[in-house]
Copies of this chain bind each other. A is one copy, B any other.
């Protein structure tokens, strides 16, 4: 791929971190010397779409990348809260992270917002996208199906250790699964 760019931004919520994310990060690191892994919606947790806290997600990501033998000098993990004002979302991210030269994302709105501010945006070839999806994993956990094969071993262990399985199932019994009004 010729010469590498200095730093890239990889945007995700990682609810939870899975093998698709891992593949994407490896792919991105072929293009940049250093990768910022941005943990979005950082203040949310304990809801059906956002079961895990930012801290738990940071812990999963660190464990998974260590397990994969990746050089910790090549990436940094930064939690970013939602700002709810799209017109200032990109400038807010920029203020919370070291300078970056390229953004890796497949999400249409994220892509649009960075492009409107003249950032270079690249799609990431996710492997087996349908399965390696956090939505699919949460659904399998809920339904008692095999989900462990979709995440790194260390993530599966972390999920068990923090009682994540139980949490996802209890949240599904809530009158208020999104937790609106807490």
* Chain A residues in the interface with B (C-beta under 8 A): 13, 40-47, 53-56, 58-59, 62, 66, 71-73, 76-79, 81-92, 94-99, 107-113, 167, 170-171, 173-177, 179, 181-182
Contacts and interface: CB of A to CB of B under 8 A. Distances in A.
A95 B89 CA distance: 12
A54 to B, nearest CB: 5
B181 A41 contact: yes
| Most-contacted residue by chain B among A88, A97, A99, A167 (CB, 10 A) | A88
Contacts of A73: 66, 72
B108 A79 contact: no
A53 B94 CA distance: 9
A103 to B, nearest CB: 14
A86 B50 CA distance: 10
